[in-house]
Structure 1
Amino acid sequence: MASALEWKNASAGYGDTIVLENVSLSLTPGESVSIIGRNGVGKTTLLATAMGHTTMRGGEVLLDQQNIATLPPYRRALKGLGFVPQEREIFPSLSVKENLEIAARSGYWNDDRIYALFPRLRERLGNMGNQLSGGEQQMLSIARALMTNPSVLLMDEPTEGLAPVLVETLQDVIGKLRDEGALTIVLVEQNSRVALAFSPRTVVMDKGRIVYDGPSQTLRDDPERLTKLIGVAE
């Protein structure tokens, strides 16, 4: 089957520093994959390279089998890449409604579907971005990415810093997005429990390379192997 998103022998980094080294990873349309690993091993850089926020040193990034490695970030977004950054990066001086409107493009995701997915955002429509809680800001960041109506959604540690009850809420949300099957989803997640529960396929990174790409169940069933791969017991 043709790939929806592919890193093909990709090497990339920031300035003269190379972080990713010859990484190859491919997702089919509608597939979800979790990316785990210790801090600083290249997980965020993998997503940043897809979005055009790094310096490519070799290889390609393919979206719907077209090489987008030389395109600026806004062109990649227009072609169907949606991004939920680790820092959320909502507009603090715009209301919830304005944050969504500024990103909106025609397609499946519209106001009604967003508010059905995130009822809390409907309640906070008139609030400025800087008046939202951390959990609400994360909901808005995901909602804003969906309003661009992407074919591929990249999510960088969406549960980071959130209370357990909010982590469960977001797990339910991203689970619904996965189960609908219309989106190809890449989830970078520091919490291996959340990551392994999210997708049937998990990728483990270490020192800018992929050291495991296989069934999540294998890692769930072998905690010792998981610990050796990521260096942290969950």
Structure 2
Amino acid sequence: MSLLQLQGVEASYGPAQALFGVDLEIGEGEVVALMGRNGMGKSTTIKTICGMLAASAGSLQFDGHDLRALPSHKIARLGIGLVPEGRRCFAPLTVEENLTAAARPGPWDMQRVAELFPRLEERRHQTAGSLSGGEQQMLTIGRALMTNPRLLILDEATEGLAPVVRQEIWAAIARLKADTGLAILVVDKSLRELSAVADHAVILNRGCNVWTGKISALEAKQADRYLGV
């Protein structure tokens, strides 16, 4: 059964249309990769799901709820946790304060987040602004998990990080898939890492669906056409 379903979604920034009939489906406990080159509609699709950009056409359903009828804060309360591009921690607040600021009742608490990212426990009383980029990304993921979502959306969660930190993030995503029933929508460019965790992928090009399937079935010429620089 679908947890999130987008059908024929269109969206615009003023007079400039950005999405042209996007389709996307995520089931309970499923990991889906949303892929495409920069500027092809991935972040716009996420903004539309989260109510930060209004859809001009199409259907957006989450667990039977019409997302087009809801403001972003009510969408979040339905169980959608967002890890936005660029981290966006609350820099003056401590790690603990960042995590508890958005906390909602459920299995994810400080202890469980610390088990996933031990560095956050070590830096519990440091301000977020004093952390490294990788630690801030761990904090942002932890903060989203503290909302106890049913769907976690990761928008370029490994971009700009050192290789060793990238691997820590990918290991955490794999652990989330293996140990929880959490559905995950992950935007990233790394085919190798995505193929290890994603059940299937959707590729966007110029705001349209151009490919859907298992990453293992993606041909080299398709990858070069839609994902190459």
Distance (Å, rounded) in 1 between the aligned partners of 2:117 and 2:205: 35
2:63 is aligned to 64
2:102 is aligned to 103
Query: Conserved in 2, the CA contact under 8 Å of 1:4 and 1:28?
Result: yes
Distance (Å, rounded) in 1 between the aligned partners of 2:173 and 2:180: 11
SS for the counterpart of 1:4 is: strand
Query: Conserved in 2, the CA contact under 8 Å of 1:202 and 1:216?
Result: yes
Q: CA deviation at 1:163?
A: 0.6
Query: Conserved in 2, the CA contact under 8 Å of 1:82 and 1:152?
Result: yes
2:166 is aligned to 167
Identify which range, 140-149 or 179-188, moves more after superposition.
179-188
Equivalence map 1:33-44=2 (5 Å): 33-44=32-43
1:227 is aligned to 224
1:124 is aligned to 123
The letter for the 2-side match of 1:30 is: G
Distance (Å, rounded) in 1 between the aligned partners of 2:4 and 2:212: 16
The letter for the 1-side match of 2:214 is: P
Q: What RMSD, in angstroms, separates the aligned Cα atoms of the two structures?
A: 1.2
Q: Note the residue ranges of structure 1 that are not aligned, 5 or more in a row.
A: none
Distance (Å, rounded) in 1 between the aligned partners of 2:191 and 2:43: 15
Q: Note the residue ranges of structure 2 that are not aligned, 5 or more in a row.
A: none
The letter for the 2-side match of 1:179 is: A
SS for the counterpart of 1:141 is: helix
Q: CA deviation at 1:198?
A: 2.3
Query: Structure 1 residue 149 and structure 2 residue 119: aligned?
Result: no
Q: What TM-score does the superposition give when structure 1 sets the normalisation length?
A: 0.94
Query: Conserved in 2, the CA contact under 8 Å of 1:31 and 1:181?
Result: no
Q: CA deviation at 1:181?
A: 4.2
Could you tell me the percent identity over the aligned residues? 39
Q: How many pairs does the alignment contain? A: 229
The letter for the 1-side match of 2:172 is: V
Structure 1 segments of 4+ aligned residues over 6 angstroms from their partners:
none
Equivalence map 1:16-27=2 (5 Å): 16-27=15-26
